[in-house]
Amino acid sequence: MFALADCNNFYASCHRLFEPQYNGVPVVVLSNNDGCVIARSNEAKACGIAMGAPFFKIRDEIKKHNIAVFSSHYTLYGDISARVMTNLARFTPDVEVYSVDECFLGLSGYGDLNNYGREIRETVIVNTGIPISVGIAPTKVLAKVANKTSKKYNGVMVLQTNEEITAALSDYPVEDLWGVGRQFSHKLIKEGIETAAQFRALPIDWVQAHMTIVGVRLWRELWGESCIPLKTALDPKKGMCTSRAFGKMTADYTELKEATSSYAARLGTKLRREKLCASVLSVRLLTNKFGPQASMAFPSITIPLPHPVNNTIDLVSTALFGLKKIYLRGFLFQKVEVTATGLIPEKEVQLNIFSDFKGEKHDKVSKVLDKLNMHYGAGTLKMAGEGLIQNWTMKREFLRPSYTTDWKDIIKVK
């Protein structure tokens, strides 16, 4: 048996956790640079706010319905997510963190799953303040169905018998099934197959002919045959990228240097956290892809590193070398990307006998950076090239404090 624990309206719930005056109030969370809606509370959905709606187009609706607006705060979301996942891991050793707000649990051999599901839900709510839904079923796909259906009831649903599964699938939209993309959903609906029960009733030969192995796996999962195992160990990463759009378009080379240095430094932190080293570094500049053709440019460069590294000094210097090579005058750039590929574990790095390697000294500096920033907060100590004022950073007009990750923002009780 599998359980899927899913946080309800996760981004909105994270903000409500520290500002409870917004409980019951329509809430939306915006993407980077306050561009478009990426999360909505149930109340905001009821007001007709669409996912992905551009913020500038719905300002009147926001005023009309008194909708609370928040800029995205991924540091906060990541910290709260870690707390939720830690609580979920108390209930079984078989855990697969599927996304920032979803987690699969292996519950084979556990009895009285209804009560166990309720205990999981209540424990997470009490310990973290984040509301979750729990769906339990013999397969991952059915657990997804149970989870989504549970949101309409008391937050917990167990699909164990064939009768329970058949009833849940009878009115479940086929386009909402996990693994049915836009292309397959159009094809199925065109054939008159609108519910998950109708899809399950199809002959397997038809599914195999029209939906390949992906559809067959989905079909078997709906019949209770587990085809998608629990992934308790993460696959090794093949690449990492740091990239965010600027708060304003810029042609200023100094600002581009600061942004590139900042992203390369952040990339180094991520690599060290995963205990990986990069063999190749890529830098890419992007203009507005919706602008006139003459104003578009997407220069990039890929640089093989003499040695696999993850220290900040080498990564920043290499990224700035790449930026200098690809910078084009006369263009307004919207974003810079710094990507590390050819990742290998720290313990498997092989040095080059024909070159002078100074990485050990740079590694020590990076460890000091990590230690101080971990203790005093991110950004306490950084490379001079990252700049102090950083006028290029994202526009976040509705940003809230870092309640759990910055000492100065921790809530004080008098």
Mean pLDDT, all residues of the chain: 90
Which of 107-121, 270-284, 349-363, 365-379 shows the lowest mean pLDDT across its residues? 349-363
Residue 219 has pLDDT above 80, yes or no: yes
Residue 224 burial class via C-beta count within 10 angstroms: exposed 0-12, middle 13-18, buried 19 and up = middle
Residue 359 has pLDDT above 70, yes or no: no
User: What pLDDT score was predicted for residue 259?
Assistant: 93
Query: Rounded to whole angstroms, how far apart are CA atoms 262 and 31?
Result: 20
Residue 353 has pLDDT above 70, yes or no: no
* Extents of the domains making up the chain: 2-150, 161-222, 239-386
User: What pLDDT score was predicted for residue 357?
Assistant: 62
User: What pLDDT score was predicted for residue 110?
Assistant: 86
Residue 142 has pLDDT above 80, yes or no: yes
Q: What percent of the chain has pLDDT over 90?
A: 59
Residue 252 has pLDDT above 70, yes or no: yes
Per-residue pLDDT band for 146 (boundaries 50, 70, 90) equals very high
- The average pLDDT across 322-326 equals 95
239-386: in CATH 3.30.465.10 = no
Bridge partners, 300 (sequence order):
284
User: What pLDDT score was predicted for residue 354?
Assistant: 66
Q: What CATH number was assigned to the domain covering residues 161-222?
A: 1.10.150.20
Residue 243 has pLDDT above 80, yes or no: yes
Residue 380 has pLDDT above 90, yes or no: no
User: What pLDDT score was predicted for residue 298?
Assistant: 93
Q: How are strands ordered across the β-sheet holding 2-7? A: 95-99, 102-106, 2-7, 132-137, 156-158
User: What pLDDT score was predicted for residue 262?
Assistant: 93
Residue 125 has pLDDT above 70, yes or no: yes
Pairing outcome for strands 95-99 and 68-71: unpaired
2-150: in CATH 3.30.1390.10 = no
Residue 247 has pLDDT above 90, yes or no: no
Report which DSSP code applies to 347.
Answer: G
Query: Rounded to whole angstroms, how far apart are CA atoms 3 and 138?
Result: 9
- The average pLDDT across 266-277 equals 92
281 with 318: CB under 8 angstroms?
yes
